[in-house]
Structure 1
Amino acid sequence: MEKALWYLLVGTRGGENRARIIRTIDERPRNANQIAECLEVDYNTVRHHLDMLQDHDVIEAGGDDYGKLYFLTDRFEHHREEFERVLEAM
């Protein structure tokens, strides 16, 4: 998870938006449209970042396609301190 967080947040473009998405989901579970509205980011951009975060086991989805809510994974929660360290380095 440590390497994945460095890659997702520092090693690629879009890291700042991914960090904002993680923070938003941490506040409360949301669907892609709610995240896009909250962050004032294009829906398709949010979908791209959500897919990347899911692929690296940072978030998981629950519910049906349209109203699917996103949650932080237990694995991410276990590595939350590393997430905070990566943010400090950004």
Structure 2
Amino acid sequence: MERILYYLLTGMRGGTNRIRIIRALLNRPRNANQLAEELDLNYKTVRHHLDMLEEHDIVTAYGESYGEMYFLTDEFEDHRDTFERIVEGTTT
């Protein structure tokens, strides 16, 4: 999981937005539209990042199409300290 997080957050474009999305989901689950509005990002951009995060078992979706709510996975929660360490390294 550490390698995946490094890859998603620092190894490619969009890492900053993925960090912002994860931070928002740490507070509470949201759907893609809520994330787009809260983070002032294009809806398609948010969907792209959510798809990447879901593909790598960082988030999971529950619900039906437009109203799908995104939650952080237990796998992510088990490695939350790694996420924090990586994020801290990107801001220093």
TM-score (norm 2): 0.96
Q: How many residues were matched structurally?
A: 90
Distance 1:36 1:66 in 2: 13
Alignment pair present for 1:53 and 2:45: no
The alpha carbon displacement at 1:26 in A equals: 1.0
Tell me the residue number matched to 2:27. 27
Instruction: Give the CA RMSD over aligned residues.
Output: 0.4
Alignment pair present for 1:66 and 2:28: no
Residues 33-86 of structure 1: CA deviation (Å, up to 9, x unaligned): 000000000000000000000000000000011100000000000000000010
Distance 1:50 1:16 in 2: 13
Moved over 4 A (4+): none
Q: Does the residue aligned with 1:66 lie in a helix, a strand or coil?
A: helix
Q: Does the residue aligned with 1:71 lie in a helix, a strand or coil?
A: strand
- Percent pairwise identity: 61
